[in-house]
Amino acid sequence: DTEVTQTPKHLVMGMTNKKSLKCEQHMGHRAMYWYKQKAKKPPELMFVYSYEKLSINESVPSRFSPECPNSSLLNLHLHALQPEDSALYLCASSQDPGTGASPEQFFGPGTRLTVL
Amino acid sequence: GESVGLHLPTLSVQEGDNSIINCAYSNSASDYFIWYKQESGKGPQFIIDIRSNMDKRQGQRVTVLLNKTVKHLSLQIAATQPGDSAVYFCAERTGGYQKVTFGTGTKLQVIP
């Protein structure tokens, strides 16, 4: 299984709502990532988890809260978002990054988020 | 490369011709450079990577060239097919093997 799955595919939420994005992989990868992608722009790194520990937070506002319950799952909890947070949120996974292995990341299809 | 502007650079290529997509990178400390393909409605898909101590690597129908002197990366696609139509991103890995920074994409349009 070389697939990264993300749910939901689409999400519309108000600025006072609380919602969560979910990501799952069963490739035995020990690094998982959240990216934000706006239209016609490249993906921008938000968070990196390595061995279920948060290793990189790219100065993301606290209204985005990541969680890695186990090595296969990654969540992104959303609260009090702004309309400018509307974007495609991509999850990715890769092999153990600490060994200098190939940087190949496997991406999910993303969650298209609209904040009203 | 840095993301600038609201319009993706576009490369239009006749089916069967070769395509060359270029990218300028910024960080001399990057240890790997990577090319991703993103089709409409999908996440990026890995194409090929190259270590910083190499200058050329070939895959199936694709070749990546790295020129560290001018910080330039290119992706060559041989015999371009309609299925190659997508946005192509170069990326560089820094930050202790975990941080990957994407450059500005290039939209490849294949004309049948």
For chain B, what is the HEC assignment?
Answer: CCCCCCCCCEEEEECCCCEEEEEECCCCCCCEEEEEEECCCCCCEEEEEEECCCCEEECCCEEEEEECCCCEEEEEECCCCHHHCEEEEEEEEECCCCEEEECCCEEEEEEC
pLDDT of residue A110: 98
Query: Which residues, other chains included, contact A68 with Cβ-Cβ below 8 Å and sequence gap of 6+?
Result: A32, A49, A52, A53, A54, A74, A75
* Bridge partners, B88 (sequence order): B37, B106
pLDDT at B70 over 60: yes
Tell me what percent of the residues of chain A surpass a pLDDT of 70.
96
**B98 and A42: CB-CB below 8 Å?**
no
Contact B7 A97 (CB under 8 A): no
Q: What pLDDT, on a 0 to 100 scale, did the predictor assign at position B6?
A: 56
- Which residues in chain A touch residue B42, judged by CB atoms under 8 angstroms apart? 109-110
Q: Which residues on A lie below 8 Å from B8 (Cβ)?
A: 40
Q: Pick from A34, A104, A111 the residue to mutate for testing the B interface (most B CBs within 10 Å).
A: A104
Quick one: closest CA in B to A57, which residue?
A: B99
- Separation CA A53–CA A31 (nearest Å): 9
- CB of B72 closer than 8 Å to CB of B50: no
Average pLDDT, chain B: 91
Q: What is the pLDDT of residue B109?
A: 97
Look at A97 and B41 and tell me if their CB atoms are within 8 Å. no
Give the tens place of pLDDT for each residue, B8-58: 899 999 999 999 999 999 888 888 999 999 999 999 999 999 999 999 999
Percent of residues, chain B, with pLDDT higher than 90? 80
Q: Which residue has the tokens 């190259």?
A: B50
Assess whether pLDDT exceeds 90 at residue A4. Answer: yes
Nearest-CA distance B94 → chain A (Å) = 10
pLDDT digits (tens, 9 = 90+) for A57-104: 999 999 999 999 999 999 999 999 999 999 999 999 998 766 667 789
- Residue B3 has a pLDDT of 38
- Asked if B46's CB is within 8 angstroms of A108's CB, the reply is no
Q: What is the pLDDT of residue B5?
A: 46
